[in-house]
Amino acid sequence: MLTFMDRRLYRILGGIVVVAVLMLSRGVIDSLDIHFYYTADFVTDFFSNLSADQARRYLQQEVLDLVFLLLYSGAFFLLLKRFFGTWKWLAVAGGLFDFIETFSVILCLEGLVSPEQLGWLGVVTALKWISVVVILLLLIRRATRR
């Protein structure tokens, strides 16, 4: 019999698959999100080299990424809560870093901030990836110790 947490986790995982398929069906585009770290100059060059169509597609991708990050953060939170208790807050940290990154990119694509104002964003992206790797390592460690 499935517990309430199991059902929630399965629904979240289903949502992750649906959003991932939607994102991939739109075509893979280059984004800051896929880099582990980048410099302020890279951010400025990246945004200045986007065509209007690429910027529009990137914005749509980032809106989907907001949903994706909420779903994967929720899944990580439930898994960490189940297996590690207090470590569950690591999922919140990773999700928060990803939210700051994604929301900042959206603000830039909407023209509300300039790429030059996002010189610090590479650090946030690196913190996001470090958080995700730590979470995955914890979960892998737990899975292999059973």
Measured CA angle at 75 (ends 59, 86), to 5 deg: 120
- Condensed to tens digits (0 to 9), the pLDDT of residues 28-47 reads 678 998 899 999 999 999 99
End-to-end CA distance of the chain: 20
* Domain ranges (residues) in the chain: 4-144
The pLDDT tens digits for 70-101 are: 999 999 999 999 888 888 889 999 999 999 99
* Entry pTM: 0.89
Q: Please name which of 41, 43, 25 lies closest in space to residue 33, comparing C-alpha atoms.
A: 43
**Rg of the Cα atoms in the chain:** 17
Q: How far apart are CA 78 and CA 10, in angstroms?
A: 11
